[in-house]
Amino acid sequence: MPAQDRRQRIPQETRRVEVIDAALIEFGKYGYAGTSTSMIATRAGIRQPYIYALFENKRDLFLACHEVLNLQILQAFNEAFDDEDSPYERLRKMGLAYLDLLNADDRTRCHLHIFAAAGVDDLKTPIREGFNQFFEDVIELSGATRPEVARFLATGVLVNAMTALEVPSEMIGYLEMIPGGAL
């Protein structure tokens, strides 16, 4: 077979990133229990057995999605504000960045499914640990107090749920009236 007819091999790390991205979308739509590895493989354009060359099982892939999603959100938060902004202004701008992520596609909605999957015994501890680290990272990024960050994250989960429910956008605007709200 001539060299130009052969498909170029994609490095395993590149393929891993592609599979996680596909999994974020599928888990974002259907949750942990409702998503099969064959659905993820189809979206990623690979055969299902290759997923198991990259991840031990669906659980490990799901937890990798949790980690990647947290990092992507933190990156968007970090890019959203200026160093001289106050903690309140940082949280406000981070909230707007989160809204942009939610409006982009189903990837960020995967967060709701991650929290719901914490009811699965072998997922509870790693999800809790990931959330606790995310909480600490937001405190460090924003310079805000623990209660302010707790309200910020609670508002984010509510906005995520409202977006998933396709609640009219003006209802999200009502959250600006919450004392200490970050939108």
What are the pLDDT digits (tens) for 159-172?
A: 888 888 887 777 76
Q: Tell me: pLDDT of 44 over 60.
A: yes
Assess if residue 5 is contained within a domain: no
The answer to whether residue 27 is domain-embedded is: no
Q: What is the pLDDT of residue 1?
A: 47
By the 8 A CB rule, do 149 and 134 touch?
A: no
Determine the pLDDT at residue 5: 43
Judging by beta carbons within 10 Å of its beta carbon (0-12, 13-18, 19+), is residue 37 exposed, middle or buried? buried
- pLDDT for 180 equals 52
In this predicted structure, what is the pLDDT of residue 67? Answer: 96
User: Number of folded domains in the chain?
Assistant: 1
Share of the chain above pLDDT 90, in %: 68
Q: Within a domain: residue 156? A: yes
Residue 173 lies in a domain: yes
pTM score:
0.85
- Residue 42 banded pLDDT, cuts 50, 70, 90: very high
Residue 26 lies in a domain: no
pLDDT at 162 (0 to 100): 85
In a domain, 92, yes or no: yes
Average pLDDT of the residues of the chain: 88
Answer yes or no: is 128 within a domain: yes
**Which tens digits make up the pLDDT trace of 114-155?**
999 999 999 999 999 999 999 999 999 999 999 999 999 998
Residue-number span of the structural domain to which 143 is assigned: 59-177
